[in-house]
Structure 1
């Protein structure tokens, strides 16, 4: 299936891998950045908070941008913004500059991801199922390789991962600009900024979006706080901060398990128990893993924290695949799926951005283990929200192709 894909699919998938790598790229070098730029924990977590925050707003404009300028132009501009942001980050002299550039990076990532999947679905051989598998493969490779690349290059300098990402994304941008078909003039449904918010009038979409927001808050507690918690535990034993290689291997394991669970485990759970039940079970497991991470932080155990981070990839992979499917299965058929997805994504990323910004303040007020305890509570709230979803259309049904695609797109 993969060998027969045209070049346009491969170049878009390559660019998608690099874009997904940006999610975990910074994790292994957080401590190195802190030491080099004398940055406090609240500044470090803003590297994730602002990145997600701009995507919250971007969810309201990406549909309009694709309508106004065409998918290829929107995608290419997104790639160029990532290249510029990553390249300039390699020359940053203080943490505030990196935070500002992560805003630009987040906008570029949102513009690219909003349209990359459309190219893969439109051009991939094997129908939507083939496109799903290819996109999930790109997602898995990006999530797993991003922390590893950040670790390997970060052992040289904290600037090297940014420079490496800029170079790889530049190759992807040139390939997309050269090989992808131009934006043909065609009638596309007009999209307004407010349409995604209006879509949230749908009860199922709104409630599931709230549940997803709290789960994503727990997810980005792991991403934004775990590297700092690992170093705090290591210092408690008289050692220094956990280096890029150590943190990178932990998050490499996390990404690998998330990818495997999303591709292989999630569909089986949905077929066996139903989508909603699969989501509820995975969130409950996530809450337990967060409690394990909190215990490891209290015990100053690098091993337990690292194990909890890696294990969290399993329920996270399941949720990345199934969560959106629950939201979309009972959606209002009069609302375009892309618009409903944008509204749902608005809530989802809002939860992640709020968590990434608050996590350092929670730790300073209640201790290093507190963010993980809060994350466990987020999961309990997410379970309560999803439990309110009417499950007549989500019980024991296969993952809808469109919903699975939307779920992949949002990571």
Structure 2
């Protein structure tokens, strides 16, 4: 027999590595598919924002409330996702979230006023919160290859969903701005059936989550640092996502193609770029690098003509993809809190940035000019960098995690 050398991966880890990230149980793929559709809902409305504004006689800032209501409810609902899933189990929570998305996405397609649409998007956000927070925990628990592989798979679903959302929105929105909502409801119904059929029972954990746990866990210095840095990063992220369709001056197909290119770079940077850089320079340095690149993209959006806006929008997918993976992994690894609780507390804070940015950017663009939202987005990134610098001592545990991953990814020792 050959003993495992100290520091080398264990036999199960070696087997998982040989299998690769793509060798996952069917339940993981079913959950990942539903996650793709859930994240499609974020970028789905991008190409049809101008059409919605025209069809419902609304201003850009009013239409941007589609994002604000969605993410505000998503953020607040994150505080109860753990409480719910710890009582009824992950599978039932996923199915409940999907059912809510199906209902409210369908209702959104029937809206006659922008107020109705905003309200239905809020209900959609509640379902999204129940699904998204629980999906990450389910994928981490069921995936082969450990938490790092699961998070990469989750971020791949996020990137694919965000990239495909604008395409679906453009294709269906060309016929009517209502059709993308009905299309999302249909795809979510498929996800519901797949999870119902393939994901086995997930009994509630032995310890039930209290309603106060997601707030209490933010007392941890590392998690709160990660969460509030992500809040300012998400402000910049959703300034690009929610406001740029109004300054591109293109039809639904054009906007959809621009954000498809953006989403492809988000996915590639999330799945390949971030893990590569994390192994070489560490997670915190990846955050610094990505925030710096996003500042440059925001300035490019503010200072350029249409061609520059298109290029800057697409290229912003790189730092956004890097940060999505780096921040998610940091939130999962920086504290010893249960992952569902850490995810709920982290997402509550960070999605507030996604709720504030769309409306704020729309009002700044209407009342001053279209450059100002991007200057504010760049300033938000600089605030995020400042938080990382001032509170860097709270993130030392991430250096240990990076070292562990470097050991895990080292070449397997040859047999003597």
Task: Give the distance between the partners of 2:353 and 2:189, measured in 1 at CA.
Answer: 31
Any stretches of 5+ residues in structure 1 without a counterpart? 232-241, 402-411
Provide closer, same or farther for how the CA distance between residues 123 and 263 of structure 1 changes in structure 2, counting only shifts above 3 A. Answer: same
Q: Is the aligned partner of 1:160 residue 2:179?
A: yes
RMSD across aligned positions (CA): 2.0
Equivalent residue number for residue 325 of structure 1: 329
Provide closer, same or farther for how the CA distance between residues 189 and 27 of structure 1 changes in structure 2, counting only shifts above 3 A. Answer: same
Q: Is the aligned partner of 1:138 residue 2:157?
A: yes
Equivalent residue number for residue 386 of structure 2: 384
* The one of 285, 288, 293 aligned to 2:296: 288
Task: Give the distance between the partners of 1:381 and 1:400, measured in 2 at CA.
Answer: 30
Q: Is the aligned partner of 1:55 residue 2:74?
A: yes
Any stretches of 5+ residues in structure 2 without a counterpart? 1-19, 406-416
Q: Output aligned runs, 1:2-401, within 5 Å.
A: 4-184=23-203, 187-231=205-249, 242-296=250-304, 301-331=305-335, 333=336, 335-388=337-390, 389-390=392-393, 391-395=395-399, 398=402
Provide closer, same or farther for how the CA distance between residues 338 and 306 of structure 1 changes in structure 2, counting only shifts above 3 A. Answer: same
Provide closer, same or farther for how the CA distance between residues 374 and 129 of structure 1 changes in structure 2, counting only shifts above 3 A. Answer: closer
Q: Is the 8 A contact 1:25 1:147 kept in 2?
A: yes
Task: Give the distance between the partners of 1:41 and 1:118, measured in 2 at CA.
Answer: 36
Provide closer, same or farther for how the CA distance between residues 399 and 121 of structure 1 changes in structure 2, counting only shifts above 3 A. Answer: farther
**3-state SS, counterpart of residue 189 of structure 1:** coil
Equivalent residue number for residue 234 of structure 1: none
Q: Is the 8 A contact 1:275 1:326 kept in 2?
A: yes
Provide closer, same or farther for how the CA distance between residues 249 and 116 of structure 1 changes in structure 2, counting only shifts above 3 A. Answer: same
Structure 1 residue 143, shift from structure 2 partner: 1.5
1:24-72 deviation digits (Å, cap 9, x = unpaired): 0000110111111111112111000111100111110000010122211
Task: Give the distance between the partners of 1:228 and 1:304, measured in 2 at CA.
Answer: 15
**3-state SS, counterpart of residue 398 of structure 2:** coil
1:339-384 deviation digits (Å, cap 9, x = unpaired): 2332222111112211122111112222111101100100110110
Q: Is the 8 A contact 2:233 2:380 kept in 1?
A: yes
1:114-165 deviation digits (Å, cap 9, x = unpaired): 2223333343344445534433332222111111111111111111111111
Normalised by the length of structure 2, the TM-score is 0.87
Task: Give the distance between the partners of 2:147 and 2:313, measured in 1 at CA.
Answer: 32
Task: Give the distance between the partners of 2:158 and 2:60, measured in 1 at CA.
Answer: 28
Q: Is the 8 A contact 1:25 1:161 kept in 2?
A: yes
Normalised by the length of structure 1, the TM-score is 0.88
